[in-house]
């Protein structure tokens, strides 16, 4: 299987992506401070710019049955865009201990696709490697996109009501 590598910018960070085009699988995503921009799958750049909420058609290698922490990664991958769950909630959903969830999040090979930034502690954000600012930025990006969608939907709804009034 041919593996491609690319780097794109996300705020002050660079996002390094390793993927297989023919298998539509992302093998690794990591954050770094250096590196020259080079092509990444369009799904990744669209997500990071707030233009997409998923990575279709790409999936994560960690969502392959038999992969270590598969049940945890599956539960995390089902957290809706813009929402968060606690380590304890993920532990309950995957039938494991909340500390094991923390270990799995640290070892997550494909953050973003398995959105570990959406897993928080009961008392705050919890951790994120290599820097908690990335977790904050990703959560803020998702909130911003959802607010924008909500405003657009409300504007469309207001327009529909106005048109209804004009028809009377």
State the catalytic residues. 116
DSSP string, 68-118: TTHHHHHHHHTSPTT--EEHHHHHHHHTS-HHHHHHHHHH-SSTTTS-GGG
Could you tell me the two tokens for 94?
Answer: 């995957």
In this structure, how many other beta carbons lie within 10 angstroms of the beta carbon of residue 132?
A: 14
- Report the distance separating Cα 148 and Cα 139, nearest Å: 14
Q: Is the dihedral of CA 153, 159, 165, 168 positive or negative?
A: negative
- Residue 43 in tokens: 């799904």
| Among 114, 11, 2, residue whose Cα is nearest residue 58 | 114
């Amino acid at each position: 299987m041919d593996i491609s590598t690319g780097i794109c910018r996300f705020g002050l960070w660079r996002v390094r992506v390793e993927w297989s085009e023919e298998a539509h699988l992302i093998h690794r995503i990591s954050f770094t401070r250096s590196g020259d921009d080079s092509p990444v799958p369009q799904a990744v750049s669209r997500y990071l710019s707030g233009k997409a909420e998923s990575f279709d058609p790409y999936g994560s290698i960690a969502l392959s049955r038999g992969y270590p922490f598969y049940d945890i990664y599956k539960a995390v991958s089902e957290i809706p865009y813009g929402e968060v769950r606690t380590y304890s909630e993920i532990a309950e959903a995957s039938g494991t201990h909340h500390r094991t969830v923390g270990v799995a999040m640290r070892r997550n090979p494909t953050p973003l696709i398995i959105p570990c930034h959406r897993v928080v502690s009961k008392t705050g954000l919890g951790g994120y490697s290599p820097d908690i600012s990335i977790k904050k930025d990703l959560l803020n990006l998702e909130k911003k996109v959802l607010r924008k969608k909500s405003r657009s939907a409300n504007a469309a709804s207001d327009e529909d009501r106005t048109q209804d009034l004009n028809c009377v």
